[in-house]
Amino acid sequence: MNQIIEPVPTLTQPVFDLVQDLLEKAIAASHDDITMRYVTDSIVSGKSILWTISIEECRGIIVTTIIPLGKGTALLIWLMAGEAIVLHAEKIQKKLDQFAYDSGCTEIKTIVSNKKLENYMLGNLGYQLGGTVLYKEITKHERTISERTN
């Protein structure tokens, strides 16, 4: 069985060409104003890690970064896409758990925009609900009000 779950050491053009469609899907599914440029800059600079996943003809990508916490650090999974993410979640989680442990992290946090995947992670992968992220776009109207009050 062909199984690859690994961080990409360098984001070269050939690697980017292989994962561009998955990065685009992950960006489109996120509720943030994330751009491809932001993602690739973060990976190339070493601030984030691109993981490629290939298991039994299923592909996927995950983008992670290590963030500080009050009591240590956490591996933050902030982008993910591909059929491998859902179909092989346990295998992927074991690899991420080991990476987080080896990196000295005390937690793994994830941003999930897929409710089905969120429920699966809560019920099967040991995640706990740690809060809800709400977002509001600031329009020109709010910016104008803020400028007048400052």
What average pLDDT does this structure show over 78-87?
A: 89
Closest CA relative to residue 85, chosen from 110, 60, 64, 55: 60
What average pLDDT does this structure show over 85-114?
A: 90
Predicted structure pTM score: 0.82
Residue pair 62/85 in contact by the 8 Å Cβ criterion: yes
pLDDT at 141: 61
Domains of the chain from N-terminus onward: 3-149 (3.40.630.30)
Whether the per-residue pLDDT at 137 is higher than 60: the answer is yes
pLDDT at 43: 97
Helix (H, G, I), strand (E, B) or coil at 85: helix
The residues pairing with 49 across neighbouring beta strands, listed in sequence order, are 64
Element (H, E) at 68: strand 58-69
Residue pair 112/121 in contact by the 8 Å Cβ criterion: yes
pLDDT at 118: 83
Q: pLDDT tens across 24-51, in order?
A: 999 998 867 789 999 999 999 999 999 9
Give the helix, strand, coil percentages of the chain, each rounded to 5: 45, 25, 30
Between 114 and 12, residue with greater pLDDT: 12
Residue with the two structure tokens 């933050």: 76
DSSP H helix total and E strand total for the chain: 6, 5
Helix (H, G, I), strand (E, B) or coil at 138: coil
Where residue 101 falls among pLDDT bands split at 50, 70, 90?
very high
What average pLDDT does this structure show over 99-110?
A: 94
Whether the per-residue pLDDT at 142 is higher than 80: the answer is no
Residue pair 63/39 in contact by the 8 Å Cβ criterion: yes
